Amino acid sequence: MMSIIRNKETTRTDFVFYADRIIRILIEEGLNHLPVVEKTIITPTGKEYEGGVEFQGRICGVSIMRAGESMEQGLRDVCRSVRIGKILIQRDEETALPKLYYAKFPPDIATRYCLLLDPMLATGGSAIKAIEVLISHGVPEEKILFVNLLCCPEGIAAFVKVYPRVKIVTAEIDGCLNERKYIIPGLGDFGCRYYGTDK
């Protein structure tokens, strides 16, 4: 599936279909990293089942707009009625630093486990800024899980240097960033390919 979405000849329809499949797998894997508590249930036979578990706390998805929004449906597919927050971060052209433009979260976000959604981790700037914003809203670092499709060593190193307790769940780690800060070999601009706005 990663080979299909990396291929420059892949149609937008196929790109979206296979990206959605990968996203759902990543979300499922991300949920496996959240803490659970044991729960005894009664089966339809009237007998107790003691091997049951349930999530220890409530969950919230937070997408980094715009590409991260492509991952929201995958989360909704596996977590009914999940709350979704949004963050818009863009690079300031004068300082080259990430700048927060918008943040909207559920009012009780500080009590939830947060799955931060963004398909690409390149320099790490946007993800680091997003974590900073979540922490400023009361979310503990250890209750944040970053879910993405593709990252590179430079982005991972920058990210874990600042937030070592945030877990990263990714599909693949590529070789490096090029001089333009694109992931190499990469898959192009994920948001443009997913939403059909590429040139």
Helix ranges (H only) for the chain are 2-6, 12-32, 72-78, 125-136, 153-162, 190-195
For residue 173, the model assigns a pLDDT of 96
Please name each of the domains of the chain with its CATH number: 2-195 (3.40.50.2020)
Residues 82-124 have pLDDT tens digits of 999 999 998 776 766 788 999 999 999 999 999 999 999 998 9
Q: What is the largest CA-CA distance in the chain?
A: 67
Instruction: Give the pTM.
Output: 0.90
With residue 106 as reference, give the H or E element that holds it: none
- Is pLDDT of 199 > 70? no
Q: Quote the pLDDT of residue 159.
A: 95
Report the alpha-carbon distance of residue 83 to residue 46 in Å, rounded. Answer: 34
pLDDT digits (tens, 9 = 90+) for 23-60: 999 999 999 999 888 889 899 999 999 888 888 889 99
Angstrom distance (rounded) from CA 115 to CA 143 = 9
Ranking 20-29, 87-96, 139-148, 181-190 by mean pLDDT, the lowest is 87-96
**pLDDT of 196 above 70:** yes
The one-character DSSP state at 98 is E
Could you give the 3-state DSSP secondary structure of residue 191? helix
Supply the pLDDT for residue 59: 92
